[in-house]
Amino acid sequence: MQLIVTSCLSPRLRKIGLVSALILLTPGCATLPSSGPTGSQIVSASQKADDALNFPIVELDSLQAIPLPPARADIFLPSYIPPPTNLIGTGDELEVAIYEAGVRLFGGASGGSDAGSAAAQSGAQVARLPTYRVDDKGDIEIPFAGSIHAAGRTTTELERTIRAALKGLSENPQVLVTIRESVTNSLIIGGEVGKPGRLVLATNRESLSDAIALAGGYRGDAKDVAVRVQRDNKTITLRLSSILSGSDSDFPVYPGDRITILRQPLTFSAMGAPGRVQQITFPSPAVSLAEAVALSGGSDANLGDPKAIFLFRFVVGPDGTEKPIVYHLNMMKAGAYFISQRFVMQDKDLLYIGNAQANQPAKFIQIISQLFTPVVLARQLTQ
């Protein structure tokens, strides 16, 4: 190509071409088109003490260098003592039935003293009071007994309290309290579930996966779903795939929990030598570094440097602050392929494949070819 160009061009144009070549072959080659820095440039940037964003580079040269998966924030107590299922709280709706025999307070029996009247009063009758909703103070109002505190008591305890309050007003009354609608013994579940709303816990031993199933199950692919649990002003977000796997993420739910099922696919970004900047969704709940390189297209034989595989990540330090860190993998070493199979990708990781330094002359030749090809064609057409 060089012979064709020099033979077809005038001496003046040949001089211009030679000068251009000298300029491009000088350190100014760094201005050639590039998809990003080379591996040596990344290493150099990490060593600058005056850089506004300092980051260490961790060499993935052994299995021991692979970082441990982040520990789940155990903000919920692992030991769970379920409250009684018949515990009453504010907002609950109660049904109260009073059974009386003999002299009745609620049955409207006559006060006659003849034998027939006594026989009529010998049979038990039931008085069903209107449905009560426990007020903000935790009380209910029972006729002839007055205000009775119900919140924090079980139905059995409330039955005894009402019976004691009616003592002397009714002859041996029997009281039955039933929770018609439970607010205290329930949780709220919403989002990508079949039946969002309030879910009453029948046994108070339901786990997180049980609650999701009772709410009609989740919608979508489990690997793309996150579960957010709010409890006592604390929040934790878990992956549904981890919960369904039977791990310790499937912890018992509490009354009062708020559960939200969200569609949040795990993704990582791929940049650099593959030539195509893309965001890739995890095809499975867990993706290794080897799989991530394969999904991104790998290191291009002409443009990429397999010695310069970098993974950029933010990690949370002991003080709770995020710090940048870069992991480096040299895939020209055979052992690196084993390491890459054990390195687990995390959500929002950035995979970068460095540019090969050796491809700069090739880019230069391509530029020169693009500059002079029209001139050569015009010269040939005019001959």
Cβ proximity of 197 and 186 under 8 Å:
no
| Residue 375 host element (H or E) | helix 360-382
* CA dist., res. 232 & res. 237, Å (int): 15
> What does the pLDDT read at residue 204?
87
Mapped onto helix, strand or coil, the DSSP state of residue 13 is helix
> What does the pLDDT read at residue 27?
47
Q: DSSP secondary structure string, 228-262?
A: EEEETTEEEEEEHHHHHTTSTTSPBP-TT-EEEEE
Q: Work out the number of other CB atoms within 10 angstroms of the CB of residue 167.
A: 11
Walking along the chain (383 residues) 10 residues at a time, the average pLDDT comes out as: 45 49 46 65 74 81 89 64 89 93 66 42 77 95 93 95 90 91 94 95 91 95 94 89 84 92 95 80 94 86 82 87 92 93 95 73 50 55 62
> What does the pLDDT read at residue 221?
92
Domains 93-181 and 186-263 share a fold: no
The CATH number corresponding to 39-65+267-360 among 1.10.1060.10, 3.10.560.10, 3.40.50.150, 3.40.50.970 equals: 3.10.560.10
What does the domain layout of the chain look like in residue ranges?
39-65+267-360, 93-181, 186-263
Determine the topology of domain 186-263 in CATH.
Answer: Outer membrane lipoprotein wza fold like (3.10.560)
> What does the pLDDT read at residue 73?
61
Look up residue 34 and give its DSSP letter.
-
Cβ proximity of 212 and 189 under 8 Å:
yes
Angle of helix 11-25 versus helix 360-382 axis, rounded to 10: 170
Contacts of 381 (CB under 8 A, 6+ apart): none
| Residue 119 host element (H or E) | helix 115-122
Look up residue 344 and give its DSSP letter.
B
* CA dist., res. 118 & res. 296, Å (int): 92
CATH class for the region spanning 93-181: alpha beta
Q: Give whole-number Cα distances, 184 to 88, 103, 143, in Å.
A: 7, 37, 25
> What does the pLDDT read at residue 72?
66
Mapped onto helix, strand or coil, the DSSP state of residue 361 is helix
Contacts of 329 (CB under 8 A, 6+ apart): 60, 289, 309, 310, 311, 336, 339, 340, 343
> What does the pLDDT read at residue 351?
95
